[in-house]
Structure 1
Amino acid sequence: MQELEILILGAGWTSTFLIPLLRTHHLSYAATTRDGRSVAGSKTIQWTFNPDENEDSHLQFFNLPLAKYVLITFPLTSAHQSKTLVNGYLKTHDKTPSPAHFIQLGSTGIWQIPQKTLWVSRRSPYDTKNARAIAEDEILSSGGCVLNLAGLWGGARDPKTWVGRVAKTKEDVKSKKSLHMVHGLDVARAIVAVTSDWDKAKGQRWMLTDGFVYDWWALMVGWADVKGSSDGDAVAAEPSEQAKWAFELMKEEKVWALPRSMLALGRCYFGSEFWDTFGLVPLKARI
């Protein structure tokens, strides 16, 4: 059986950036989807993970190809699920003494707990009772790597379209503080970097952001004309309600200019460590 460089389990939005990048780097790959559809011009393997499979049965993994790295893009929600996937794949794809390495994509949401410091890094306390964090910890204990991703944008995901959903009232705007993002292309670059320098990645949890701490108010004001006239006449456009509310709140809270201070924004993610470690710079920073 030919060994591929990477097997993507669950080829969704991230894979629309990852697959083209793998082609550019001439890295062999295969990907799975629930329905076997094509993703980024590549046909996928129809496959669905069954977390409830009997521990001694590994039938669901037999038809998956052999790969050096297995990327898990969907959330696992218990240590049992992580063990089932990792052990099941390894037992059906035995290539001692060099077994496959596992990379789990997670969320920076695990750090959304009270912190003692303003700056939050990958080493900061996280919610150890979070179901996804529990599953990720199991991946780490087996020598895998976890990439905890900030808010994802790129392609069809346009943050400008989120404003109306996340802030329907002035009180909603008032509650909005910091925002952390990372572009899909930079997620793909990070995955390739991990496979290229596994010694730095193995057993490590990484926080992945574009290095910016965004101020929701500044974004809302900056996108005030997002619903402007179709002819692009920004002067005639009526500012969004969210932009108006942000300016009212600036006056009320004596904020003289945007963006607000890091202290006012609260939780701020230290997002440069991954890029520094792997000798990279985000390509799509600043939304």
Structure 2
Amino acid sequence: MFDTKLAPAVAGPPQDAAETPHRSPIRLPGTGFFAGKVALVTGSESGIGRETARALCQQGAAVVLNGRQADRLEQTRQALADAGYVVASCVADVTDYAACEALVATAIQTFGRLDVLITNASISQRAYFANMQPEVFRQVLDSNVYGTVYPLKAALPYLLQVRGSVTFISSISALNGMPSGSAYCAGKAAVANLAHTLRLELSDTGLHVGVVHIGFTQNDPDKRVLSASGEPVPIAHRPPRWQKTQAQVASRIVEHIRRRRQRTVLSALGQLIVLVHTYLPRLGDWIVLRTIRRLRHFYE
């Protein structure tokens, strides 16, 4: 069983991977829909990313884990390896293109192929636009946009070879905006539109390009977002009854990939937002404005 842990300073992908044959793929053990497949999940050291990696492992995939905190990433890798799953890991900041090349190289050098990419890593915020420092806005936006673009650019030649799958993790807040989340909403909306554009550009390649808009989800106790000044602060209040578990969200993400869907919107609230935003946008804005006045703790 492989539980390889490669350093990130490895060679990037070849200049033209489409003309460079891979070495023979490792015979991967396991059964399930993704048996014999290799998946890379960014931001999988914790939270939804970790549980998505676990769900893919349970369906037979070999998974490359990723994060920026080496200790936490190793704990996750070890836990999945101890459970009998085939995993590797790579510490990499997905807003750094060279690091993303090394991340993809970990998959290729360890397992010989890459079939599935899930761009999950991102930073969120809890701050109104007028109060945000410009560098904080950029940090949040970069994590969501370049944290999606760079891993895909590095992985694209390999995914095209196998007519694979890429799924961008967006949010229901990208569908209609959310006060105190300007940079996050902008980034997640950009990711959704990027998926649509790539679907058109790559329509004849067989590559699946999808986007999942996740809703309110239970977080790890130490989950933090950025304040207006860039300090890590707890996420704003979310009523528990509105939240799905991380495992539930991960299950839906994996189902989305298995069915090669273009878009999946999670939760009844998300579906309602789509409906209202499409057909009754003024009503949607009225509801949000009322919640700002009556439920300030929901945003602040």
TM-score norm. by structure 2 comes to 0.48
Alpha-carbon distance in 1 for matches of 2:159, 2:212: 25
8 Å CA contact 2:37–2:60 kept in 1: the answer is no
Deviation at 1:79, TM superposition (A): 5.5
Q: What is the deviation of 1:81?
A: 5.3
Q: Secondary structure at the match of 1:151?
A: coil
| Residues in 1 aligned to 2:250 and 2:235: alpha-carbon distance in whole angstroms | 27
* 1:147 and 2:212 are equivalent in the alignment: yes
- Pairwise CA distance, 1:150: 1.0
Q: Is the 8 A contact 2:67 2:91 kept in 1?
A: yes
In structure 1, the partner of 2:67 is 33
Contact 1:82–1:136 (8 Å) recurs in 2? no
Q: Where do 1:86-125 residues align within 5 Å?
A: 86-91=152-157, 93=158, 96=161, 98-113=162-177
Decide which structure has greater strand share: 1
Partners of 1:95 and 1:18 lie apart in 2 by 22
CA spacing shift, 1:84–1:197, aligned 2, 3 Å: same
In the other structure, the counterpart of 1:7 is 40
1:195 aligned partner: 257
Contact 2:174 2:186 in 1 (8 A): yes
Distance 1:48 1:58, change over 3 A: closer
Which of 183, 188, 192 is equivalent to 1:136?
Answer: 192
Asked if the contact 1:147/1:207 (under 8 Å) is kept, the reply is: yes
- Identify the match of residue 63 of structure 1 among 106, 123, 137: 106
Q: Which residue of 2 aligns with 1:47?
A: 91
Q: 2:265 aligns with which of 207, 216, 220?
A: 207
SS at match of 2:217: strand
> Aligned-pair distance for 1:138?
1.4
Partner of 2:119: 72
Partner of 1:117: none
In 2, are the aligned partners of 1:81 and 1:135 still within 8 Å (CA)? no
How far is the alpha carbon of 1:45 from its aligned partner? 0.9
Number of equivalences: 185
Q: For the residues of structure 2 that align with 1:166 and 1:59, how far apart are their CA atoms?
A: 35
**Counterpart of 1:17 in 2: which secondary structure?**
helix
Contact 1:32 1:46 (C-alpha < 8 Å) held by counterparts: yes
CA contact (8 A) 1:147 1:208 kept: yes
Distance 1:82 1:113, change over 3 A: closer
Higher helix share: 2
* 1:12-27 alignment runs, 5 A limit: 12-27=46-61
In structure 2, the CA distance between the partners of 1:129 and 1:194, relative to structure 1 (3 Å rule), is closer
Matches of 2:54 and 2:185, distance apart in 1: 36
Q: Quick one: structure 1 residues 80 and 26, their matched pair in 2 at CA, closer, same or farther if it must change by over 3 Å? A: closer
Equivalent residue letter for 1:185: A
Percent identical pairs in the alignment equals: 8
Q: Is the 8 A contact 1:69 1:102 kept in 2?
A: yes
8 A contact 2:41–2:119 mirrored in 1? yes
Q: Kindly provide the CA deviation profile for residues 133-158 of structure 1, in whole angstroms up to 9, marking residues without a partner as x.
A: 21332133223211111111167599
Q: CA RMSD in A?
A: 4.2
Aligned partner of 1:271 in structure 2 is none
8 Å contact from structure 2 (residues 94, 121) kept in 1 = no
1:19, 1:129 → 2: CA distance? 25
Whole-angstrom distance in 1 between the partners of 2:235 and 2:147: 33
Runs in 1 of length 4+ with deviation above 6 angstroms?
126-129
Which structure 2 residue ranges, 5 or more long, are not aligned? 1-24, 27-35, 82-87, 123-140, 200-208, 224-233, 271-282, 289-300
| Alpha-carbon offset, residue 48 of structure 1 | 1.1
Cα distance in 2, alignment partners of residues 14 and 182 from structure 1? 11
Q: TM-score, normalised by structure 1?
A: 0.50
Conservation of the 8 A alpha-carbon contact between 2:38 and 2:107: no
Deviations 1:95-151 (A, max 9, x none): 52x33311111221123449xxxxxxxxxxx99981232133213322321111111
Please say which structure displays the higher CA radius of gyration. Answer: 1
Q: Is contact 1:104–1:145 with CA below 8 Å preserved after alignment?
A: yes
